[in-house]
Structure 1
Amino acid sequence: MTLPVRFDDLGLPGRRHEDWRWSDLSAIEAALAARANDGAPDARRWLIDGVTGPVLLFVDGRYSAEGSDPQGVTIETSGGDEAHILSRLTRGAVGATLRLGREQAAGPIQLVHVATGGQAHLHHRLTLAEDAQASIVETYVGAPASWTNVAVDIELAHSARLMRTVRRLGEGGVHTETLRAGVGQGASFMGTTLLTQAENVRIESHARLHGIGAFASLDGIMLGRNRQTFDVVNRIEHAAEGGSSRQTWRSVADDRATLSFAGKIQVARAAQKTDAEQSVKALLMERTATVNSKPELEIFADDVKCAHGATVGELSKDALFYLASRGVPPAESRAILTESFLSDALATIGEDAVREALTADAIGWLRRGA
């Protein structure tokens, strides 16, 4: 397909569209005018120590065989999802294709994409057969005047289990992601995202629990300062009986950053005995920052247990005073309390090394601003 050369050519919905009213992707314009750096970066420094398994390296939307160790994971070209405007742009893009059966055991798979400038599109497909299990860690590193656009399609059969962890790091740029997940009977999908270094971010996730007893969690952390804008839109759709879901998001907004979260739980009439929870909490480090939260419940079944809550506040003055009375410096006190505030959103990561890496990323961000 012919990729757009101007921001207006993308045809993205404006702020009058309810799901896009908090999105600011204006930095894409600089990426469309920029070119990628011809030098191939060494992505090994972005790998998580202690994690074994396949390694796939992408640079500016192109697969790097030299820096990869696929171990059976294939690279294919995508057709894209014509129904979604951002996914549509991934038509003809490369991406990792994972198809696992119950007899296959996959160690944590690391995908690293480094954007050096310009636009880059990826499309990953993850299909797990009955009783299959897999863990995937995706690290996206952006440079100024770069745009990484990712589409992810997931399908989990009976009793399959998938853990997906995403890190957005780097020095700037734009990150957009569209995820579609189908979760079958007794299957489990756990997704955790950490957003730090990017000028603009929009992530849109839709998990459909179409099997009896299916489970999904869409958790994450947003850490923004300066004039960063992050927008996360989650939808978990319960379409079958006995399903359960969780959404746990924690945000820290500093300077003039704008962090937004819109999460919806949909329960169909046939989805009796659904158990769904949503917890959205944010800290304002400066009152010049902005946090937007929009939790929603849409329930058509009678026998359900659904709850949601959203809070925005500041660090406890009593807790800060207590730590100060014990001789802890103010900057250290703020970092300690903020680290504790973020821990809930990382609790579902199964591998210790991955959870520790994301915790270190978050702590590093906090300490840099202390």
Structure 2
Amino acid sequence: MATVTLPSTREESWRWADLEALRAAAASERSVAPASALLGLDGPRLVFVDGVFAPEQSNPGRLVVEALDMTTPHPLGAQASGTGWSLTLDAAEAETTVEIVHVSTGGENHLPARLRLGEGAVASVVESYVGTGWANRLVQVELARSARLSRAVRVIADAGFVSTRDEVSIGQGASYVATFLGAGGMGTRFDAAIVLNGIEAYAEMGGTLLTRGAQRQECAVRVRHAQPHGSSHQTWRAVAADTSTASLAAAVEVARDAQKTDGEQSLRGLLLQRTATVNLKPELEIFADDVKCAHGATVGELDARALFYLESRGIPPARAKALLTRAFVADALERIGDETVREAFVADADRWLETAL
């Protein structure tokens, strides 16, 4: 940790970051490894324990564990160097059930990943984080023309801190869809820079942050439209209980030549108690003059009339709150295409609700 230079919370893009929790997680003692949280998908899988490949628990298939030479200006992502994992698909190839599991037992670990999809290639990747300590990841994605990548990231660590940095380049007619879930006891920062470099490129990123106690979670996403006829959608939901804090910052930048861009942001927060905090920061920077861009941001509490209606039908108060809260986060998770993965994410959210309500 002594070699890591952390950003300052005085910087606008880091003002909500819980860097103290990150430092504490990095300095934490090692403990017993938890269960690996494999979903049992029928495809390649990799398991990393404290950032080290565990071959006895893995089935790599076309996934490659190798030293990766990756550069980034991002202060946390720059720490993730050395041996990581990669997936390279040639034109029209498909790999749709890739599973990556990150197990942490304490201290800090860093891991890079690279995904390169050729023209018309298709891939689906689900990643899970369990344990404690500081797990730091850098993921770089390159999508050629008409390639499609779907990612689902579930962070259900008991404690510690998980930081991810995604850097994505999307080619002509290519599609990138990513869904994140933070439903454990850890702190998080989901950080992404997505660039639509091709005509008619598509990007979608969103997810759900669930916080309780004194926990803090955060996402910081910037989508840049560099070419015309691109579309992007960001759908984020945050639920905060007790004295916790969930922060959502989502930006869309439209370059001067990116005419006919369609960009949409939906940020919504739900306070289970008024002692909790949800920070929302939608941002649009538009330099083109023929675009359709919109954003919405709301923070509120559960509808008292809806609660009364459910309770009047014999539903216990805790169950009524859970039903309404689940409905609130559902639209951020329903975009996961694989039914098994989607059900796992919903089950994670349900377990969180059972303890928070």
The interval holding the TM-score normalised by the smaller chain is over 0.9
Cross-structure match for 1:174 = 161
Cross-structure match for 2:18 = 24
Which of the numbers 246, 254, 257 marks the counterpart of 1:270?
257
Query: How many Å separate the matches in 2 of 1:82 and 1:308?
Result: 29
Which of the numbers 279, 287, 299 marks the counterpart of 2:266?
279
Which of the numbers 75, 98, 103 marks the counterpart of 1:109?
98
Query: How many Å separate the matches in 1 of 2:28 and 2:279?
Result: 31
Which of the numbers 286, 310, 328 marks the counterpart of 2:297?
310
Cross-structure match for 2:113 = 124
Alignment of 1:235 with 2:222, yes or no, is yes
CA shift for structure 1 position 42 = 4.7
Which of the numbers 149, 152, 159 marks the counterpart of 2:139?
152
- Residue 93 of structure 2 aligns to a residue whose secondary structure is coil
Cross-structure match for 1:360 = 347
Which of the numbers 58, 67, 76 marks the counterpart of 2:66?
76
Query: How many Å separate the matches in 1 of 2:250 and 2:60?
Result: 35
Which of the numbers 31, 35, 47 marks the counterpart of 2:38?
47
Equivalent pair of 2:80/2:112 in contact (CA under 8 Å): yes
Cross-structure match for 2:9 = 15
Q: Please, which runs of 5 or more residues in structure 1 have no aligned partner? A: none
1:287-306 paired onto structure 2 within 5 Å: 287-306=274-293
Of residues 183-192 and 96-105 in structure 1, the stretch that sits farther from structure 2 once superposed is: 96-105
The 1:69–1:249 alpha-carbon spacing in structure 2 relative to 1, beyond 3 Å, is same
The 1:24–1:109 alpha-carbon spacing in structure 2 relative to 1, beyond 3 Å, is same
The 1:304–1:103 alpha-carbon spacing in structure 2 relative to 1, beyond 3 Å, is closer
Cross-structure match for 1:56 = 46
Q: Percent identity?
A: 48
The 1:89–1:188 alpha-carbon spacing in structure 2 relative to 1, beyond 3 Å, is same
Equivalent pair of 1:27/1:173 in contact (CA under 8 Å): yes
Equivalent pair of 1:114/1:142 in contact (CA under 8 Å): yes
The 1:319–1:273 alpha-carbon spacing in structure 2 relative to 1, beyond 3 Å, is same
CA deviations over 1:243-273 (Å, ceiling 9, x no partner)? 0000000110000111101110100011000
CA shift for structure 1 position 91 = 2.0
Query: How many Å separate the matches in 2 of 1:141 and 1:66?
Result: 18
Equivalent pair of 1:196/1:224 in contact (CA under 8 Å): yes
Query: Where has structure 1 moved over 3 Å in runs of 4 or more?
Result: 34-37, 39-42
CA deviations over 1:128-170 (Å, ceiling 9, x no partner)? 0000000000001132xx0000000000000000000000012
The 1:293–1:197 alpha-carbon spacing in structure 2 relative to 1, beyond 3 Å, is same
- Name the amino acid aligned to 1:351: D
Cross-structure match for 1:97 = 86
- Name the amino acid aligned to 2:8: G
Which of the numbers 322, 336, 343 marks the counterpart of 1:335?
322
CA deviations over 1:192-215 (Å, ceiling 9, x no partner)? 000021432112101100100000
Query: How many Å separate the matches in 2 of 1:29 and 1:241?
Result: 42
Query: How many Å separate the matches in 2 of 1:165 and 1:363?
Result: 17
CA shift for structure 1 position 83 = 1.5
- Name the amino acid aligned to 2:61: Q
Cross-structure match for 1:139 = 128
Q: Please, which runs of 5 or more residues in structure 2 have no aligned partner? A: none
- Residue 341 of structure 2 aligns to a residue whose secondary structure is helix
Alignment of 1:33 with 2:27, yes or no, is yes
Cross-structure match for 2:203 = 216
Query: How many Å separate the matches in 2 of 1:29 and 1:86?
Result: 12
- Residue 336 of structure 2 aligns to a residue whose secondary structure is coil
Query: How many Å separate the matches in 1 of 2:47 and 2:214?
Result: 30
Alignment of 1:87 with 2:77, yes or no, is yes
CA shift for structure 1 position 352 = 0.8
Cross-structure match for 2:308 = 321
- Residue 327 of structure 1 aligns to a residue whose secondary structure is coil
- Residue 302 of structure 1 aligns to a residue whose secondary structure is coil
- Residue 96 of structure 2 aligns to a residue whose secondary structure is coil
Equivalent pair of 2:33/2:104 in contact (CA under 8 Å): no
Q: TM-score, with normalisation over the residues of structure 2?
A: 0.97
- Residue 26 of structure 2 aligns to a residue whose secondary structure is helix
- Name the amino acid aligned to 2:77: S
CA deviations over 1:324-347 (Å, ceiling 9, x no partner)? 110111000000001111111012
Equivalent pair of 2:92/2:122 in contact (CA under 8 Å): no
Alignment of 1:261 with 2:252, yes or no, is no
The 1:147–1:105 alpha-carbon spacing in structure 2 relative to 1, beyond 3 Å, is same
1:182-201 paired onto structure 2 within 5 Å: 182-201=169-188
Q: TM-score, with normalisation over the residues of structure 1?
A: 0.94
The 1:109–1:183 alpha-carbon spacing in structure 2 relative to 1, beyond 3 Å, is same
CA deviations over 1:279-316 (Å, ceiling 9, x no partner)? 00010001110110010110011111000000000000
RMSD value over aligned CA atoms? 1.3
Query: How many Å separate the matches in 2 of 1:59 and 1:351?
Result: 26
Of residues 345-354 and 156-165 in structure 1, the stretch that sits farther from structure 2 once superposed is: 345-354
Equivalent pair of 2:34/2:131 in contact (CA under 8 Å): no
Query: How many Å separate the matches in 1 of 2:10 and 2:323?
Result: 40
- Residue 347 of structure 2 aligns to a residue whose secondary structure is helix
Equivalent pair of 2:268/2:297 in contact (CA under 8 Å): yes
- Name the amino acid aligned to 2:63: V
